[in-house]
């Protein structure tokens, strides 16, 4: 493996480099393990035939960016034998089309060079996703990729749990694993081969809603498609109708409860009750204008049959 080491000078240049590689942060998508990027989205992005809108920075992403140095500080406090250094290069295997930008390097460990991956998580997300304190598999694969490309001797993932009353930092060490590295290499090779041969992954219904809208911004005039014999579509429509009916009942009940609370409060702006914060106050909102747009709107209405 011949790895190119490219200095990161400007963020825009770094983002441009990433467009042509499968990066460690997206390696889980090759195996359907990334909770944010589907195999199809990764395929479309790297195929380069369709310009997809750049996903905006989410709240958790902004939190992770701002608190990255805090994770480093927490690790340094818990592991004074480690010297933590910010990584400043982009590591690329040109033959494989695989690359990584580690968060930090670890020096001073007798095993040799280590890579440190910095994560943040809300307490509920940590409890849900970090089973027995172990990172989700997509994060483990990210660390394995970073170790492989930097030839590090070991890796560590540190997650700072952002609790308003505490900031526990959990450090999980990850050894190099030859079988995992071979799985990554094989997966990347298969991915680029699928792009060359046009083997497009299937749609992930949970992740690809926005992708479908971006890929199909306009309808073909007068084009109709017969889905009456598509069992998955018919089953889905029936389930959707049941869910919508249930949601309507639940929404109406919520409104009844809210009206009951309003009737109790009358002129009061605050209601004092245990376990809940209840206020009923005037809110002043600024006026605004919305730029015209022409999005495609999916409308589904249940047909009522005559009794």
Task: Please state, rounded to an integer, the average pLDDT across all residues of the chain.
Answer: 91
Spatial separation of the C-alpha atoms in residues 112 and 105, rounded to whole Å: 11
Could you read off the pLDDT of 166-207 as tens digits, one per residue? Answer: 899 999 999 999 999 999 999 999 999 999 999 999 999 999
Cβ–Cβ under 8 Å, residues 154 and 174:
yes
Class of domain 3-212: alpha beta
- pLDDT average, residue stretch 89-106: 96
Cβ–Cβ under 8 Å, residues 266 and 260:
no
Cβ–Cβ under 8 Å, residues 207 and 50:
no
Tell me, what's the pLDDT at 50?
A: 77
Kindly tell me if the per-residue pLDDT of 98 is higher than 60. Answer: yes
pLDDT interval class at 298 (50, 70, 90): low
Could you read off the pLDDT of 205-225 as tens digits, one per residue? Answer: 999 999 998 898 888 989 999
Tell me, what's the pLDDT at 105?
A: 98
Which residue is it, tokens 């818990």?
78
Spatial separation of the C-alpha atoms in residues 20 and 191, rounded to whole Å: 13
């Amino acid at each position: 493996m011949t790895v190119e080491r490219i200095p990161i000078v400007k963020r825009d240049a770094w983002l441009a480099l990433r467009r042509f590689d499968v990066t460690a942060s997206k390696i889980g998508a090759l195996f359907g393990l990334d909770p944010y990027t589907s195999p199809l989205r990764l395929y479309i992005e790297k195929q380069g035939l369709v310009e997809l809108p750049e996903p905006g920075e989410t709240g958790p992403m902004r939190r992770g960016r701002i608190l990255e140095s805090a994770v480093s500080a927490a690790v340094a406090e818990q592991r004074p034998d480690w010297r933590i250094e910010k990584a400043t290069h982009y590591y690329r295997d040109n033959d494989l089309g695989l690359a990584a930008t580690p968060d930090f390097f670890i020096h001073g460990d007798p095993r040799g060079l280590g890579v440190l991956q910095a994560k943040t998580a809300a307490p509920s997300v940590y409890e849900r996703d970090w089973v027995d304190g172990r990172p989700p598999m997509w994060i483990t694969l990210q660390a394995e990729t970073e170790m492989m490309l930097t030839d590090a001797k070991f890796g560590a993932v540190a997650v700072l749990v952002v609790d308003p009353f505490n900031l526990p930092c959990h450090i999980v060490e990850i050894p190099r694993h030859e079988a995992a590295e071979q799985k990554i290499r094989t997966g990347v090779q298969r991915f680029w081969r699928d792009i060359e041969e046009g083997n497009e992954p299937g749609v992930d219904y949970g992740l690809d809603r926005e992708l479908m809208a971006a890929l199909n911004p306009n309808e073909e005039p007068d084009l109709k498609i017969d889905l009456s014999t598509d069992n998955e579509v018919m089953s889905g429509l029936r389930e959707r109708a049941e869910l919508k009916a249930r949601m309507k009942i639940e929404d109406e009940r919520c409104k009844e409860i809210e009206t009951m609370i309003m009737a109790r409060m009358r002129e009061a702006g605050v209601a004092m009750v245990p376990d809940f914060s209840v206020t009923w106050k005037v809110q002043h909102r600024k006026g605004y204008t919305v730029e015209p747009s022409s999005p495609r709107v999916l409308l589904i209405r249940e047909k009522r049959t005559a009794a």
